[in-house]
Amino acid sequence: MSRDPVTIVTYEWLPEFPRGFVRDIRARWAAEEAGVAYAVETLPVMPKSVAHRQIQPFEQVPILRDGDLTLFESGAIVLHLAEGTPLLPEARRAEITQWLIAALNSVEGATGRWALMQMAERHPAIFGPPSPPEVVEHARQGMVARLDALERVMQGRDWIAGDFSAADILLADVLRVPAAMEALAGHPALTAYVARATARPAFQRALADHMAHWQAADARMAAQA
């Protein structure tokens, strides 16, 4: 079934370090998997505008426009794009939703807390101040406990809820962050899962377009300088 193109809203420009991991990649990946064409619109990361707050109360991205509908939260966006596609089959809707929420809450809650502390050490002017070592260690242990639990679940599974689904887009993207920060060591099933998910052509296209977006922004800025 073909449908009208949607619009994914992301930032106009960002520095190097978050590129590849800005959450518009989740929307791009879902659109690619679902065969939905999309355009990209941008907002400045700074200063935040009233227009931004009106469509995303937390002044973040991604945002999706689909006709009259405007949606924020990457999980809601992926679920919306997955509707009526093999990413969200009716028979597994409840289980897929469960794992999608687990990815964003139980897993990203723990990995994100630790990753933010790592970022505060690397970029204190943006994410600082750095947390005391014992606080970082507590966050690391909390993350490892969640990863250990997920490692047990993923053993013997290719995907988290049957065939590849909307939940895998969220879970694999959440796990890309500790993977990139070398925090998945000792978790071979999760490491293989991230490699399997990111080898998908739809992810590769999403990543290439996501990176091309920042390169085009750099080129525009260089031309203006």
Ligand X SMILES: N[C@@H](CCC(=O)N[C@@H](CS)C(=O)NCC(=O)O)C(=O)O
Give residues in contact with ligand X (CB under 6 A).
22-23, 59-62, 73-74
Which among 168, 221, 164, 213 is positioned nearest to 19, based on CA atoms?
213
Minimum distance, C-beta of residue 74 to ligand X, in the bound complex (Å): 4
Whether the ω angle into residue 62 lies within 30 degrees of 0, i.e. cis, is: yes
Nearer Cβ to ligand X (71/151): 71
- Of 76, 81, 74, give the one whose Cα is nearest residue 36: 81
Find the shortest distance in angstroms from Cβ 152 to ligand X: 26
Nearer to ligand X, 59 or 209 (CB): 59
Q: Where are the alpha helices (DSSP H) in 7-57?
A: 24-34, 50-55
**Distance separating alpha carbons of residues 211 and 62, to the nearest angstrom:** 15
User: Closest-CB residue for ligand X?
Assistant: 60
Q: What three-state secondary structure class fits 48?
A: coil
State the nearest-atom distance from the C-beta of 100 to ligand X, in Å: 11
Nearest to 27 by CA among 67, 68, 77, 85: 77
Provide, rounded to whole angstroms, the least separation between the CB of residue 184 and ligand X: 20
User: Nearest approach, Cβ of 73 to ligand X (angstroms)?
Assistant: 5
Beta carbon nearer to ligand X, 120 or 192: 120
* Residues 41/11, Cβ–Cβ less than 8 Å: no
Q: Tokens 């809601």, residue? A: 76
Q: Which residues pair with 41 in a beta bridge?
A: 9
Task: Rank residues 14 and 192 by Cβ distance to ligand X and give the closer one.
Answer: 14
Contact of 107 with 179, CB cutoff 8 Å: no
Minimum separation from the CB atom of position 29 to ligand X (A): 13
Query: C-alpha 20: how far from its chain's center?
Result: 9
Shorter beta-carbon distance to ligand X: residue 46 or 185:
46
Closer CB to ligand X, 12 or 59, in the complex: 59
